[in-house]
Structure 1
Amino acid sequence: MPTREGIDVSHYQNEAGGGGASAIKWAKIASAGVKFTFVKISDKTSKDAFAVRNVADAKAAGLLVGGYHFLRNTASGADQAHAFLNTVSFGSGDLIPSLDIELIPATPAARAAYVQKAKDWVAAVRSAHSGRWPFIYTRANIWQALGNPSGFGNCPLWLARYGSSPPPIPSGFTNYAIWQFSQSGSIDGITGKVDENHLAMSFAEFRSRYSL
């Protein structure tokens, strides 16, 4: 299996640990060799219940931390970006933000609207972070189902494919920066399962290239 350099979490991990922000033991996670994490910050226009505390505690444990937003098709991209940007303030030394694109709306018109919301979210977040392109998190089959949309090629790619075989690269991208290779990892400090991530480069290069 690939090596695990990072994990990503949301309120699900807090709830699996019995609820409360302290349900995730970030010091234990750091001791297990995890170097970076993405924390769920927002979903549609709502903030994740434990976003602020998870970010603060992960930083206190010495991890490189970024945030992600789960994109929905039922609110504007600008409003969703506002929810992300106003929940946690990321700055120098943090990872660039990430947009989670993993829905396939039912009709071509709805899919086109979803893609436009993604573009609007990216534009708003870039504006707030000196033009830095955010990560796009997705799967190759989802990207294809959305029509292999253009306009995202400058975004670094965080690609999901579970197993030991590297993922195929979706159209419009040249490579991935992060490969989410498991959704059922286990680690000291988290009750239940957690997503595991492998870097396509050294951690030092990753930090240098993708920090704000």
Structure 2
Amino acid sequence: MATGLGVDVHPYYQRGASFPGVEYAWIKMTDGAAVYALERDSRVWTADAHARRLREAGIPFGGYCYAQPGDGAVAARVLLAECDRLGGTGVAPAIDIEDNRDIHTWSTREAVDHGRAFCAEVIRAGRRPAVYMNASKMQACRPDEWPEDPVIWVARYGRAPEASGVYRGHYDVHQFREDGQLPGSAGRVDWNQAYTLAHLTASAPGGGTTPNPDPTEDDDMITAPAGTDDHINVIVKGKTSLYLACSWGQKVDVHSILYYGDTGQDLKGTGVGGGYDGGLRTPPEKWTFQPNRPGPVRIPVGAAMATIRYTAAHSFAVGAA
């Protein structure tokens, strides 16, 4: 089952990394309007090695530009050329706008102008852009309200972006930690959680249009009652996406989603791979669904029924489409 977990990597600091369990990735490919190339340790480090490993692993990836003062449209053109050269067209090309006292501190107006110029150029090239900022800068700039409609990739570690009112807008991908690990990596790795498919392009597996965030428009819903470590069974045969929808101010903590296929003539149920079971981990994990993050959860091929184990203080809706 797809979990929406991805990484973003730096060609030097995460050199040597391999990508088990990763579903998508961004690679730093450019600095402003310059292709990334760092001469260190008697060699020049570029995005080529990570791109090759991701291609070989069949993992969709794209590039990001570490924003620097200048023309955002020019930066977009340089990044798009690198994405094309490296085959990084499965994930939306992103502009990373963040303050660095050694490089540049962005005013809100400057960040908005630069980001929108980048986005407009990516759209002119026939693609959808992505914008990365930390939660406080995202709230100041609100790219979720820009007419360019970029994919929103927000960083906040240890807490949801909206916690304590830091960010009040929509987001598609949350960079939730900076101390992750990947085999072979020379340094710690940023982990990202995707709550929509907006970051994936049409060339990526399962990519293309963003799913309807209101599954009631797609198919019938069933209601799950409030409960603690309770469960509900949902028929998912012939469906591709599962949604959990709750009201504003509520949430659903999912401990596991396990899938089963049709029973064969031997009367034995057939398990279907890809289930999520955070309850078996130590310590137990949970997957939280909130009103602005109802899914989708991809349903594995061959699944006929899903068993969802959850904790929720209020009833909520479950739908498959």
Report the structure, 1 or 2, having the larger strand content: 2
RMSD: 3.2
Q: Does the residue aligned with 1:180 lie in a helix, a strand or coil?
A: strand
Q: Provide the identity percentage.
A: 27
Secondary structure of 2:207 counterpart: helix
Distance of 1:139 and 1:206 partners within structure 2: 28
Tell me how far 1:44 sits from its aligned partner: 1.1
SS at match of 1:208: coil
State the one-letter code of the partner of 1:194: V
Which residue identity does 1:118 align to in structure 2? G
**Alpha-carbon distance, 1:55 to partner:** 1.6
For each residue in 1:141-173, what CA deviation from the matched residue of structure 2 results, as whole angstroms up to 9, or x when unmatched?
112344x4652572121111101x3221845x4
Matched-pair contact (CA < 8 Å) for 2:17–2:182? no
Alpha-carbon distance change, 91 to 60 in structure 1, aligned in 2, over 3 angstroms: closer
Question: Quick check: 1:64–1:94 contact (8 Å CA) kept in 2?
Answer: yes
The 1-side partners of 2:119 and 2:196 are apart by: 24
- Between the aligned partners of 2:80 and 2:146, the Cα distance in structure 1 is 22
Q: Match of 2:7, as an amino acid? A: I
- 1:123 maps to which residue? 120
Counterpart selection for 1:78 from 59, 73, 79 = 73
Distance 1:210 1:47, change over 3 A: farther
Does the Cα contact within 8 Å between 2:32 and 2:70 map onto a contact in 1?
yes
Aligned to 1:65: 61
1:38 is aligned, of 7, 19, 26, to 26
Alpha-carbon distance, 1:7 to partner: 0.8
CA distance in 2, matches of 1:92, 1:7: 14
Q: Which is richer in helix?
A: 1
TM-score by length of 1: 0.74
**TM-score normalized by the length of structure 2:** 0.51
| Aligned counterpart, 1:94 | 90
1:181 counterpart residue number: 176
Once structures 1 and 2 are overlaid, which stretch shifts more, 134-143 or 82-91?
82-91
Runs of at least 4 residues of structure 1 off by over 3 A? Answer: 90-93, 104-107, 201-207
Residues 106, 182 of structure 1: alpha-carbon distance in 2 compared, 3 angstrom cutoff: closer
Report the residue type matching 1:40 in the other structure.
Answer: K
Q: Which one is further off, 89-98 or 55-64? A: 89-98
Structure 1 pair 93/71, CA: closer, same or farther in 2 (3 Å)?
Answer: closer
Structure 1 or 2, whichever has the larger Rg, is 2
Pick one of 136, 140, 150 that aligns with 1:141.
136
Note the C-alpha offset of 1:191: 2.3
- Matching of residues 13-28 of structure 1 within 5 Å: 13-14=13-14, 23-26=15-18
Question: Structure 2 counterpart of 1:68, which letter?
Answer: Y
Alignment of 1:101-120 (within 5 A): 101-103=97-99, 110-120=107-117
Aligned counterparts of 1:25 and 1:91: Cα–Cα separation in 2:
18
Q: Which amino acid aligns with 1:103?
A: D
List gaps (5 residues or longer) in structure 2: 38-45, 211-321
Number of residue pairs the alignment of both structures matches:
188
3-state SS in 1 of match to 2:12: helix
2:18 maps to 1:11: no
Q: Answer whether contact 1:52 1:88 (CA < 8 A) is retained.
A: no
Structure 2 distance, partners of 1:189, 1:210, is 34
Is the contact made by 1:95 and 1:210 (CA closer than 8 Å) also made in structure 2? Answer: no
